Structure 1
Amino acid sequence: MTVQSPEPLAPTAPPSPSPEPTTLAGASAIIAGRVVRQFVRNRMMLIVTVAFPLLQLFMLLAAFSVLVRDTQDVDYVRRLAPLIVLTTAFSSILTTAIALWSDIRSGVFNRLRAMPLDMRAYVFGRIGGDFVRIMGVAVLVTLVAHTVGFRFSNGPLATLGFFGIVALFGMMCSALAVAVALVAQHPGIIVRYVQMPTLVMTLMSSGYVPLEAFPGWIQPAVGVNPVSLAAEALAGLSHQGALTVPVLGTAAWTLGVTAVCTVVATRRFALLVKRG
């Protein structure tokens, strides 16, 4: 009896290479998408950053629109609407800082660190997602303000400049939120050192009333307030008013605060990643 030789074995496929680490840009985009989805699904964040500013807009217009028009001969919505747009970015500091603090001290950060991922993508993605959220809310609030009389009367370039100022202000707010979250030891510190200062800076700004309405001794402080400068820049770009000083002042605040927060956040984040 003849013995058949065994059939030759099929060549073994080479082992599939391990997946390449996600690029920095790609990972940042994924994390930014996660930030935006969390915002849309979080009812409390929607109330704080969208519903409350809109409620403030309608209530203040109902209470003071006629008074300001009769005493200042100014359509109050043209002054108030830019400030309300800014408050949507300013109010995001608290919610963003707390969300980032929670991520870092939960399993989310540890899971990301175990992946073949450049951890800088987490910070870039967080800032990018917040930027998208801030600009989206700013456009929404501007459209709602349009229904009560707010208008852009200086052409399309000024309109683009309007949202450019919002973008600068939002960049500063995002950088500040990241730095605060990395430095704070618990959420109570974030609330204490973010909520009160931002509220005071908003109330003590020329967004609600003109600078001349404040007592003379406090006008210099109100004038250099970043909220005042940004609000005046938005008012000038949308309707009329000074532009050079408010725009340059807003840019200076943005660059200065962002630079300081970047140094602080970079050092704290490096220690956090190294410590594991």
Structure 2
Amino acid sequence: MTAQATGPVAPVVLPSPSSEPTTLTRASAIIAGRVIRQFVRNRMMLIVTVAFPLLQLFMLLAAFGVLVRDTQDVDYVRRLAPLIVLTTAFSSILTTAIALWSDIRSGVFDRLRAMPLDMRAYVFGRIGGDFVRIMGVAVLVTLVAHTVGFRFSRGPLAVLGFFGIVALFGMMCSALAVAVALVAQHPGIIVRYVQMPTLVLTLMSSGYVPLEAFPHWIRPAVSVNPVSLAADALAGLSHRGALTAPVLGTAAWTLGVTAVCTAVATRRFAMLVKRG
């Protein structure tokens, strides 16, 4: 499934300059609000990041729930639900990158550049709005999964840790989306270099099936897959399982990917700001 920006681009309404320039925090909050409104009004974004993952949850539970329970004596929703929560963050890379690319090419970015505004507010607002969206969708999907048997059984601190891992994973996804949008020359490149890798990483993860179900030769790659590590961390925090290695692995992937993407995006963003 590909996501394309639909409908008119939502305007950015910033306060008129007065005796004091618009503060970075206030401008970032305004742009973050625009990002959230844009998401709520865009049916394609809602389908890709909310409806499609929930459809996956119900279809896979219906198809494999009884089989997994009978063969492995495991409630499949405990393994599947964490992966679906991550899928909502992973799928946001494509929609966010295309929305950001459209902003840059539609004139919104040039309009902001002409204002007495710290342009860092655009980046902070975009990332902040995406973070709120990712966490909101994660909470919604978790609540829906609760209706089909998903439960937290390790206490309130584990619940906070669960959503902390989602936040780390979402931070990595947001950094990837910004970097891809700033580098790509047209939306087709975004779709080509985002959709297939994210699909492969999701399918080749231990979120759908345990690591032991994969052939021996591919297990090393599956075990270090960022989706596998994050899914295992969420499964461990919600029910049972290893925690140290998955949590540290997720943190390492987040820091590494975010650092690389930040370096790329900073350089590209500086070029755009200076462009005449």
TM-score range normalised by the length of the shorter chain: over 0.9
Query: Structure 1 22/73 Cα, relative in aligned 2: closer, same or farther at 3 Å?
Result: same
Structure of greater Rg? 1
- Shifted more, 1-10 versus 64-73: the winner is 1-10
- TM-superposition CA deviations, 1:180-228 (whole Å, max 9, x none): 0000000000000000000000000000000000000000000000000
Determine the structure 2 residue equivalent to 1:167. Answer: 167
Structure 1: give runs of 5+ residues left out of the alignment: none
Asked if 1:137 corresponds to 2:137, the answer is yes
- TM-superposition CA deviations, 1:13-34 (whole Å, max 9, x none): 9999944221111111000000
Task: Report matched runs for 1:148-159 at 5 Å.
Answer: 148-159=148-159
Task: Report matched runs for 1:61-140 at 5 Å.
Answer: 61-140=61-140
SS where residue 207 of structure 1 aligns?
Answer: coil
Contact 2:171 2:254 in 1 (8 A): yes
Query: Structure 1 155/275 Cα, relative in aligned 2: closer, same or farther at 3 Å?
Result: same
- Shifted more, 173-182 versus 12-21: the winner is 12-21
SS where residue 217 of structure 1 aligns?
Answer: helix
SS where residue 161 of structure 2 aligns?
Answer: helix
**Matched pairs, number:** 276
Query: Structure 1 107/211 Cα, relative in aligned 2: closer, same or farther at 3 Å?
Result: same
The structural deviation recorded for 1:107 is: 1.3
The structural deviation recorded for 1:7 is: 60
Contact 2:233 2:246 in 1 (8 A): yes
Determine the structure 1 residue equivalent to 2:9. Answer: 9
SS where residue 216 of structure 2 aligns?
Answer: coil
Query: Structure 1 96/12 Cα, relative in aligned 2: closer, same or farther at 3 Å?
Result: closer
The structural deviation recorded for 1:114 is: 1.0
- In 1: Cα distance, 2:106 partner to 2:59 partner: 39
The structural deviation recorded for 1:275 is: 1.1
- In 2: Cα distance, 1:92 partner to 1:185 partner: 19
Kindly report the root-mean-square deviation, in angstroms, between the aligned alpha carbons of the 2 structures. Answer: 13.2
Query: Structure 1 16/240 Cα, relative in aligned 2: closer, same or farther at 3 Å?
Result: closer
Query: Structure 1 183/10 Cα, relative in aligned 2: closer, same or farther at 3 Å?
Result: closer
Q: Percent sequence identity over matched residues? A: 91
TM norm structure 2: 0.93
The structural deviation recorded for 1:3 is: 80
